[in-house]
Structure 1
Amino acid sequence: MKLGYHIGYWSAGPPEGARETILEAERLGFDSVWTAEAYGSDAFTPLAWWGASTSRIKLGTNIVQMSARTPVATAMSALTLDHLSGGRFILGLGASGPQVVEGWYGQPYPRPLERTREYIDIVRQVLARKGPVTYDGKHYQLPYQGGANLGKPLKSIVHPLREDIPIYLGAEGPKNISLAAEIADGWFPIFFSPKMESFYRERLAEGFARPGARRGWDDFEVAASVPLIVHDDVEAAADQIRPYLALYMGGMGAKQANFHHEVFVRMGYESVANTVQELYLDGRKDEATAKIPTELVEDVALIGPAAKIRDELDRWRETCATTLLLQGDASRLRAAAEVVLG
C-alpha cells in the first residue's frame, strides 16, 4: 500500500512548515503529495511552488473544483505543471457542492455528473493535442455559440510532455463513483471505510463494465483520505479527529445537500449524522463533536498504539484502496511511515 501526503486547502494562510514536511514525505518514501482548494487558496500555485523543491514524489490536486475554471484553463495548468515537474503531475477534479459552486463561483450546480463528463472530455482533447478543440455539449461549447460570433477552434501552442495525464475524480455518491471508474484513472474517496468495501466494489464494477471504460481493477487507482494517528491513548487520538468529522458531517454544505453527511448515513450512522448536523447547524459545535462515537472514528481512521494500527492495517490492505492519503506535520508522517511502510 502506497502513502500520499495531503496538505489540504489553506485556512487563514499558508500552512506552516509545508515545504519541509513535503521534503520529509519524499525522503520517507511517500508516493505522492496533494493540494486542495475550497474558497480561498487555489490548488495549482502551492503545488508548483513547493513541488519545485522535490525530485521524485508525484504532485497532484485533490481536488481542483471544476466550476472555478473552464475545462481549457484547467488543461492549460495541467499541461504546464506536467512539463515543470518532469511528468509527475496528476490532475484531481471534483464538482464541489451547490453552496460553493453557486455562492462562490456564480455557476449553476444542477446535473453535476453530466458536467463532469463533458469537462473531462474537453480536458483530454486539449492534452492529446490531436487537432483544434471543438465541443458541442449541453454545458460547454467550443467555439462559443454567440457573442461576437468570431470564435475559432484552437489547438494548444504547447506540445504536451504526456498526452494522457492521469485524471482522478473526487466522488462520494453511488453514481459519481461509477462515473469515476468509467471515465477517470483514479478515485478520491473521503471518509473511506473497510466496512463499505462491497459497496465500493459494486459501484466501481458498474463503471468498469460500461462501454469505453478507460480502466479496470488492475490499473485503477483509489487514493483514500484516511486519518492515521499513532498515539498510546485511543480516545485522545479520536478527539483529534472528531472536530473534522463533525465539520463535514454537520456543517459542510446545505442541510438538504450535504454529500459528506450522506456517506455516514450509508455507513449505518444515520441517527448520529442527523444529530451532529442539527447541533452543528444550530451553532453548538462542541456538542456536535462530542456526539461522534469512537466506533465511528475507527471506521474511517487508523488510530491508537502502533501495534493496534498494524493489526488493523490488514483489513485496509484487503480493500480496493491503493494509496492512503495522510495529513499532519513531519513527525506524524514519520510515525505513520514507520507503521505502514516498515
Structure 2
Amino acid sequence: MTVPFGGVPLSEHAAVFSALADAGFTDVWSAEVAGTDGFTPLTLAAAWEPRLRLGTAIAPAFTRGPGLLAMTAAALAEAAPGRFQLGIGASSPVVVGDWNAVDFDRPFARSRDVLRFVRSALAGELVDGDFDTFSVRRFRLERPPATPPQILLAALRPGMLRLAAAEADGVILNWLSASDVTTALAETKEAPSGFEVATRIFVVPTEDVAFARTIGRRMITAYLTVPAYAAFHRWLGREDLLTPMWQAWQSGDRKGALAAIPDSLVDELIVHGSPAECRARVQAYAEAGVTVPIMALTPTPELERGGPPALLDLIAALGRTTS
C-alpha cells in the first residue's frame, strides 16, 4: 500500500500501519512528489510496525546529492534491518526542475550513475571517481548498513528496463494496465532470479463508476501528457487512442482532452469498484508477473465522509482478512 494517507496526520499513522499489517499487507511504499518526502513516513512505519517491509517509489535521482541519498537510505536500512528497499528513478522535469531548481539533464545517465554510486556506497565501499553526470571524491559511509537494501530502478521504456535488469535488484513500473506488464517485462528477460517487479496501481475504491471514471480521466490527463509517459504509451501501442487527448491538451482545450479519453482506457489503467473487485483487478497484475503490486488509494466521497474509521474499514476489506 502507498503511504501516507490523505486526511490522516502522520502523527496518527501508527493505527494505519497496524491495520495494514493486520489485514495482510506486507509492504508500505512512499512516493515523493509535493506531499511528504519519501523517507519520513517509512521511518515512522519502521518504528511503529515491525511486520511491514518498506520501499520508496521513488526517491528522485536528481533532488538529493549522491552522498545525502546514500546516507538517508543507510539510516532507514539501519532502522529497519532487512526490511527496506530503495527505489530510485529519474522523476520528471516538473519535480526536478520547476520545484527543486535542478537541471533535468540526461535522466537515463543520471539514474544509472546514482544507481551505481549508491550500490557501492551502501556496501561500505570508498567511492572516489568520476561518473558521467557527477564526480565524487573519497566518500565512505560512516554507518554502512549491516544489511544493504535492495535497489530498484523505476523504468518505462526499453533502455531503462534493460538497465534495471542488468544492474538493479528490481524494477518499478507505473501507469500501465495488467495486460501491459508482459510487454514491459519482455525487456527484463536477462534479469537474475529473485528480480523484484514493483508496480504502482491507482485504486479508486468506490462502486460509483461515474465518479471513478471522472477521477481517472483527471489523473490520465495529468500524467499521460508528461512527455515521458506519453512516449511510454506510444511504445505500448496507444498512440492512435491517445492522440485526440494529446491534441486537445496541447491546444489548451482541457475539457476536450478529458472527453477524448474513452471509458475503456480509464477502466484499463485505473482500478475501481468494490473492495472485492479491486482485489481481483490487482491480482491480475500479480498473475502477469508483478511481485510487489502497490495499491495507491485515491480519496472518494465515502472515505472523506467516514474519516479515519472508514479508511481502517477499507483497509480490512482490501486485505486478506476478507478472503
What SS class does the counterpart of residue 91 from structure 2 fall into? Answer: coil
Q: 2:85–2:149: 8 Å Cα contact kept in structure 1?
A: yes
Residues 1:295 and 2:290 are matched in the alignment? no
The equivalent position to 1:167 in structure 2, one of 135, 138, 151, is 151
Verify: 1:58 aligned to 2:53, yes or no: yes
What does the per-residue CA deviation read over 1:252-291, in whole Å, with 9 as the maximum and x for residues that have no partner? x4xxxx1122233333332443333344455554443333
Q: Within 1, Cα distance between the matches of 2:11 and 2:19? A: 14
Is 1:6 the counterpart of 2:2? The answer is yes
Aligned counterpart for 2:218 among listed residues 239, 243, 254:
243
Counterparts of 1:208-287 in structure 2, within 5 Å, are 208=190, 215-216=191-192, 218-250=193-225, 253=226, 258-280=227-249, 284-287=253-256
- The alignment's TM-score, normalised by the length of structure 1, stands at 0.79
| CA positional deviation for 1:220 | 1.0
Given candidates 144, 155, 162, the residue that maps to 1:178 is 162
- 1:33–1:59 contact (8 Å) kept in structure 2: yes
1:337 and 2:319 aligned: yes
Q: 1:230, CA displacement in angstroms? A: 5.0
The partner residue of 1:74 within 64, 69, 73 is 69
Aligned length: 310
CA distance in 2, matches of 1:71, 1:310: 38
Q: 2:179 aligns with which of 195, 202, 207?
A: 195
Q: Which moved more, 1:193-202 or 1:76-85?
A: 193-202
2:132 is matched with which residue?
Answer: 138
For residues 37-80 of structure 1, what are the alpha-carbon distances to aligned partners after superposition, in whole Å with 9 as ceiling and x for unaligned? 12453211232234422111011111111111122211111111
- Rate the CA distance shift 1:298–1:15 in 2: closer, same or farther, 3 A: farther
Please report the TM-score for the alignment, with normalisation by the length of structure 2: 0.83
Displacement of 1:125: 1.5
Question: Using the alignment, how far apart are the partners of 1:114 and 1:9 within structure 2?
Answer: 33
2:31 paired with 1:36: yes
Partner SS state of residue 227, structure 1: strand
- Is 1:156 paired with 2:141? yes
CA distance in 1 between counterparts of 2:122 and 2:114 reads: 13
Structure ranking higher in helix proportion? 2
CA deviation profile, 1:88-147 (whole Å, cap 9, x unmatched): 2111101112343333333333322222222111111211114x221222222221xxxx
- Taking only aligned residues, the RMSD between alpha carbons, in angstroms, comes to 3.0
Assess, with a 3 A threshold, how the Cα gap between structure 1 residues 311 and 64 changes in structure 2: closer, same or farther: closer
1:165-184 CA distance string (max 9 Å, x none): 11111111221111111111
Instruction: Answer with 269-278 or 22-31: which moved more.
Output: 269-278
Q: Offset of 1:14 from its aligned partner? A: 5.9
Distance in 2 separating the partners of 1:277 and 1:101: 23
Between the aligned residues of both structures, percent identity stands at 27
